[in-house]
Structure 1
Amino acid sequence: MADSRPKKAKICLCIFLCLLVGGIIAVVVGVRMWRHSSEHMKWNGTGSTARFQEIVLERCYKYTQSVQPELRDRDCQKIREAFRNAFISKDPCSATEEDYHPLMKLVNQMVPCDKTVFWSKTKELAHQYTKVQRDMFTLEDTLMGYIADDLNWCGDAGSYEMNYQSCPHWKKDCSNNFVSVFWDLVSKRFAENACGVVQVVLNGSISNAFDRNSDSCSGSSINDLRQIIRQRNIKFTCQDNYSSGKFLQCVKKPGDSSCR
């Protein structure tokens, strides 16, 4: 009768090796999952906006079909995909303008001359103005600004999921996050495409209206802006309005006798 002990030894060895390999795989997977969950909680900023992709698609359809129907030929499905592909599976602190170039090609839009409105720390007022003057455009009145306004987004390197727990804060974590780089890029393109008369809505009664403290059209930061504009042979005019509440009322009701 043949001795079966060597076979038993081989079987036991195989079982041991399988258990060992299985244990190593479980440890690796566990560590990766722990690291992934830790990364989701490490940032100091707000997480991605809930229903981000649905909101992007809904806003795109509304803008191209109702707000600016002349852009109805834009493909909102491709715009949503390009937006997501710009940041998904990437380090949320390593954003570049190139990440958004495919998206920018899909949403190319020119604002007519004399219709551009810039604002700083006066968002509500500027938008009330363009609601009345419907042919005027702030950045948020363009397709890309309209889609992304007040949204937040980020992913994680190596993950196809969005991070809804936290995203990088531009001061506490990194300035080259995907939201900051996006707004820097679209703001720059919006400014570069401006032509003719350009209107700027600033609050000269607050500090740092234009990089430095200012309290009126004669304030230091507004004077800096005046000099920069005039050095470029661009006409500059500034009008003081000491009652922002009245100004907002006049924007909403331009026919009011108190606004004349």
Structure 2
Amino acid sequence: MIIDALLKLTLLLSSLYFVTSQRTADRDVSITIDVSLDYDVSSPNNVTLDIAKSIFSGRGQQYQYVQHPELFKDGPKNVTDLWVKFIDAFQYQTPCTVDPSNFSDFVNAAAHDIPKDKTLLWSKTRTLANTYSQSGGRYFTITDSLSGYLVNDLDFCAQKQYPGVNFRSCPPPSHQCQKGAELSFWREASRKFAELASGTVHVLLNGSTIAYSNESIFYGYELPSLREGTVTEIRALVVHDLGVRGREKCGSGTLLKLQADVRKRGFKFQCTDDPADLRHLLCADEPATSSCRFLDNDHTSSGNQIQNIFKTSAVRVVLIYTFFYWRFVR
């Protein structure tokens, strides 16, 4: 009976070892798939005025009643009124003469409190910033606010002919078109978004290029709008493209100018190069990059630890089985 029990125990541990190894592999595959999924937005080149209005209205309800109802305890915004203010800002104007201030009525009407320490500004890191923010779960970017959420990924511009707006084909932003409706909207919305920030403000910057550019919305509209006394600290998170040698790091290049500008405005300043959580997000999409080899090391180490536990246990059982066999059977 002792021999049979030991034999069954050996088979059980062997089965557990196989199943656990298989489940570990399956779990790793699932995690890789989950974190690498990106929200894909179809090209809006067939969007008409009516379709844009429907998108705007639906997003307004979704944001206020489902996504962030906690931000509207005093009652929801009138989405129809917001739509009118938005369209009035650029309707029947020439495409490149829409001033950012035209959108002030709209962004003021759509404004709401942003939770303290939750503001995330960015420059040249849009996709990563939106992933990192988790739609307001971790931080709030401009597109996680109501005004940005309503308009995000829509192409729009002004035109003189009926219906006075265009959601299908617009001139791209350029030095010849610095006051297109879309660019002007994001400038004004970003200014207001920064004005509502409080506590610690994070800014996600790309160190593989000019991190702090004087042509960026962060430089021209957001940083000047942060309120002294309400905002206490600016924390710069500097990321670098995978496999590309960093051009600028904390304490060098334009980041020195950022540090000086921040302190001149009365805020504390902190800068971090390639924070671990952001590095993991970048590597989720490009795990084979040489910069991401640490992931393989971590995975191999964890996997080996699990496997070694079962291997050691199995070896011990075999040895005990052999001992009893030779001691009592032979």
> TM-score scaled by structure 2?
0.56
The offset of 1:231, in angstroms, is 2.3
Q: 1:216 to 1:135 in 2, by over 3 A?
A: closer
The residue aligned with 1:202 is 205
The residue aligned with 1:150 is 153
1:153-204 deviations in Å (ceiling 9; x for gaps)? 1231252253355323221641111111111111111122222111111122
The offset of 1:118, in angstroms, is 0.8
Q: Which runs of 5+ in 1 are unaligned?
A: 1-45
Paired AA for residue 83 in structure 2: R
Distance 2:280 2:101 in 1: 40
SS at match of 1:236: strand
SS at match of 2:256: helix
Matched, 1:107 2:86: no
Paired residue for 1:120, among 115, 118, 123?
123
Matched, 1:56 2:56: yes
The offset of 1:245, in angstroms, is 7.1
Paired residue for 1:211, among 205, 210, 213?
213
> Structure with the greater relative contact order (CA < 8 A, sep ≥ 6): 1 or 2?
1
Q: 1:215 to 1:48 in 2, by over 3 A?
A: farther
Distance 1:98 1:117 in 2: 23
Distance 1:132 1:87 in 2: 28
The residue aligned with 2:259 is 226
Distance 1:133 1:127 in 2: 9
Q: 1:250 to 1:109 in 2, by over 3 A?
A: farther
The residue aligned with 2:183 is 180
Q: Which runs of 5+ in 2 are unaligned?
A: 1-43, 215-245, 286-294, 299-330
Cα pair 1:214 1:222 within 8 Å, conserved: no
Distance 2:148 2:194 in 1: 13
Q: 1:166 to 1:124 in 2, by over 3 A?
A: closer
SS at match of 1:106: helix
Distance 1:251 1:196 in 2: 30
Q: 1:138 to 1:151 in 2, by over 3 A?
A: same
SS at match of 2:116: coil
Instruction: Trace 1:29-108 onto structure 2 (pairs within 5 A).
Output: 49-50=47-48, 51-69=51-69, 70-71=71-72, 73-108=76-111
Q: 1:157 to 1:135 in 2, by over 3 A?
A: same
1:119-150 deviations in Å (ceiling 9; x for gaps)? 11112222222218715211111000111112
Paired AA for residue 235 in structure 1: K
Distance 1:147 1:183 in 2: 12
> TM-score scaled by structure 1?
0.69
Cα pair 2:100 2:179 within 8 Å, conserved: no
Taking only the aligned residue pairs, the percentage that are identical comes to 28
Query: Which stretch shows the higher mean deviation, 212-221 or 142-151?
Result: 212-221
SS at match of 1:60: helix
Distance 2:82 2:135 in 1: 29
- CA-based RMSD: 3.2
Paired AA for residue 108 in structure 1: A
Distance 2:126 2:77 in 1: 27
Distance 2:182 2:46 in 1: 10
Cα pair 1:229 1:236 within 8 Å, conserved: yes
Larger strand percent: 2
SS at match of 1:74: coil
Paired AA for residue 129 in structure 2: A
SS at match of 1:167: coil
Q: 1:67 to 1:97 in 2, by over 3 A?
A: same
The offset of 1:232, in angstroms, is 2.5
The residue aligned with 2:231 is none
Distance 2:194 2:117 in 1: 12
The residue aligned with 1:23 is none
The offset of 1:218, in angstroms, is 3.0
Paired AA for residue 177 in structure 2: C
